[in-house]
A and B are shown apart, each in its own frame.
Chain A
């Protein structure tokens, strides 16, 4: 293993990191939006992401059944899967907000631990419900995405890199979603309302905005993004389990904090940085440490970054110091 070998795989490593980073970025947006509006870290978002992956998988299974496909075009099928996962995960997020967080909010408790513990509880509940579903429906735990030749087509790029068609789709879909979201938040009436509620819920209510509706819609948007990210994650890495959401969710949360939680471009940049960090450390660590630190330490780096960041720049890269909402 020489330095030249390392250099040769560097471009491909960066590309893989980019793909992973886009997935994290999309999940991170869900965390950041909810935090921006409610000041709540919605840990159940990682399960909303996982459920999106499962819904996409079921769409592939029902309509793409190899014996009798209802939709035989893989790209159309993927589109349907993305739409269903977005709708399903969005609805799931709205339900979680309606039945787990809103009752707490109405009770007016000032303790921020209560909604957080609830979020963790909801996340366990959703994991186990998925597990029951997978066991009853298919009697299996590891659910597999079907692979299509079209989606797996490899395109050779310069610098000895290659990308699969599904990789291109991941990048395209996530960029589209990010542009769409930025437009929605900055240029539409709903976006204005979301920003108003995140500034000051009471005053927004006095201006004729119904905060409950806006919060609900924020969860809908964040959840849909999570669902789409779930399908793309499943497409890339093919294996989904009821616990698939846990680690990506934690990393996406880290991305959101890295970029400055509550900040939309920040979440995106945070996700991309984390994707690179994870792939680079996972790939090169064994070489650089002469085999003493293996690939298993790649997650350590993500969370080490979080710890260092909280120590030295707790507001994140793009975050401002908001000590009090004025």
Chain B
């Protein structure tokens, strides 16, 4: 018992000591290993560039700015474990991440206890911000807009009437697919199926259902690692329906996996190809020089997300008389940020959604990433629902 008390005291002393240190850490949390590491690494590297750019500025304010990349393996329980670990680091004042809504939702339940601010470049599930936590923000769009945008394009522009909707049973995939299906029904299309599957290699049962239903468009709510296999097997078995999905398909690995079957794939995304962001050209060049590859999907969004946190930090430091701000002060400052980022104007509403987000429709004319932007639509998030 005595030992425990001494230990506790020691830990407390250590905590106090480091709380006064002049180190400020920003973490990125995304999958760095496993099948989705392609998207996750882009987030980590985008955030890293923003933090390295700001290090000199923070040096002048008297702070040493550090970057702490974390791996959530795209898995909820790993994400929660990482969250528990990083909230216990008092120097850590902001998080860029996560990639997956299914990971961000449980992890942010832990961040909110200490008001540790999270700015996500990629979480599109409505529930991420609909819970109304002070510490949770995102700079990308939402699935309840992304899904309907896709449905409008499929039904009104492409004139598809028999839609076969599949999702991967994650909060992201299911939310997106359901939003797509609902809007398509409102527009008068016939949704012949809305099915979930966790399968990764054998999609034959779904393909057999397509044979029976003869859809003219197949919509997949999920990530490229499975979507790519699905479309490849569909084409091999002679299903010619248009293949469409959400931003989970937005990765160069889609082409690696699906090969020639990726030709003609359509997806909506909240993160436009870097070529559509005129201000990001210099960023893209620096990124390529540093990491040896083009920035993909969420890299530039992660850069902006990190800059949102850095801006808020500077404001909070000033408001705090040059001293290190508390997590709550940083979280409040994030909601006040008005920033012209590489992805456009960034301002948050009271829930932490961006006031205006872009939604893109991208088509792969050839089996080559990135595809071609067919349409850009700007939308405000829907008002908070209870």
Give residues in A with beta carbon < 8 Å to B.
Answer: 1, 5-6, 8-9, 12-13, 16, 20, 135, 140-142, 144, 147, 152, 154, 162, 164, 233, 236-241, 243-244, 278-279, 281-283, 286-287, 291, 294-296, 298
Across the interface, name the chain A residue whose C-beta is closest to B211. Answer: A9
- Pairs of residues from A and B, 7 with the lowest C-beta to C-beta distance, nearest first: A282-B205, A294-B195, A239-B229, A237-B201, A283-B208, A283-B205, A141-B35
A103 to B213, CA, bound (A): 56
Q: Mark B186-216, 1 if CB is under 8 A from A, else 0.
A: 0000001111111111111110110111000
B36-54 contacts to A, CB under 8 A, are: 37
A9 to B238, CA, bound (A): 14
Query: Which listed residue, A162, A238, A281, A282, touches B233 by the CB 8 Å rule?
Result: A238
Instruction: Report the stretch among B2-10, B153-161, B253-261, B308-316 that lies at the interface.
Output: B253-261
Query: Which listed residue, B196, B199, B256, touches A144 by the CB 8 Å rule?
Result: B256
Question: Is the pair B208, A8 in contact by a Cβ cutoff of 8 Å?
Answer: no
Interface size class of B (residues with CB under 8 A): 35 or more
| B131 at interface by CB-CB < 8 Å | no
A243 to B211, CA, bound (A): 29
B312 to chain A, nearest CB (A): 35
Q: Name the A residues within 8 Å of B197 (CB-CB).
A: 294-296
Query: Which listed residue, A164, A237, A287, A295, touches B196 by the CB 8 Å rule?
Result: A295
| B236 at interface by CB-CB < 8 Å | yes
Q: Name the B residues within 8 Å of A298 (CB-CB).
A: 205
A243 to B206, CA, bound (A): 21
B326-381 contacts to A, CB under 8 A, are: none
Question: Is the pair B205, A142 in contact by a Cβ cutoff of 8 Å?
Answer: no
B308 to chain A, nearest CB (A): 31
Q: A1-B212, A9-B212 are in contact. Are A286 and B193 (CB under 8 A)?
A: yes
Question: Is the pair A291, B194 in contact by a Cβ cutoff of 8 Å?
Answer: yes
Q: A237-B233, A291-B193 are in contact. Are A6 and B201 (CB under 8 A)?
A: no
Query: Which listed residue, A1, A147, A295, touches B259 by the CB 8 Å rule?
Result: A147
| B62 at interface by CB-CB < 8 Å | no
Query: Which listed residue, A12, A16, A152, touches B236 by the CB 8 Å rule?
Result: A152
A16 to B202, CA, bound (A): 10
Q: Is the interface of A mostly helix, strand, loop or mixed?
A: helix
Give residues in B with beta carbon < 8 Å to A.
Answer: 33-35, 37, 169, 192-206, 208-209, 211-213, 225, 228-229, 232-233, 236-238, 253, 256-257, 259
Q: Name the A residues within 8 Å of B196 (CB-CB).
A: 294-296
Q: Name the A residues within 8 Å of B229 (CB-CB).
A: 142, 237-239
Question: Is the pair A296, B198 in contact by a Cβ cutoff of 8 Å?
Answer: yes
Query: Which listed residue, A1, A240, A295, touches B195 by the CB 8 Å rule?
Result: A295
A240 to B202, CA, bound (A): 11
A40 to B330, CA, bound (A): 58
Across the interface, name the chain A residue whose C-beta is closest to B36. Answer: A141
Q: Name the A residues within 8 Å of B192 (CB-CB).
A: 1
Across the interface, name the chain B residue whose C-beta is closest to A285. Answer: B205
A283 to B199, CA, bound (A): 13
A13 to B211, CA, bound (A): 10
Query: Which listed residue, A20, A142, A287, touches B225 by the CB 8 Å rule?
Result: A142
A9 to B37, CA, bound (A): 38
Q: Name the B residues within 8 Å of A20 (CB-CB).
A: 202, 204
A286 to B193, CA, bound (A): 8
A147 to B235, CA, bound (A): 12
Question: Is the pair B204, A142 in contact by a Cβ cutoff of 8 Å?
Answer: no
Question: Is the pair B195, A239 in contact by a Cβ cutoff of 8 Å?
Answer: no
A18 to chain B, nearest CB (A): 11
A12 to B194, CA, bound (A): 22
Question: Is the pair A147, B256 in contact by a Cβ cutoff of 8 Å?
Answer: no
Q: A142-B257, A291-B194, A295-B196 are in contact. Are A238 and B205 (CB under 8 A)?
A: no
Question: Is the pair A283, B209 in contact by a Cβ cutoff of 8 Å?
Answer: yes
A206 to chain B, nearest CB (A): 47
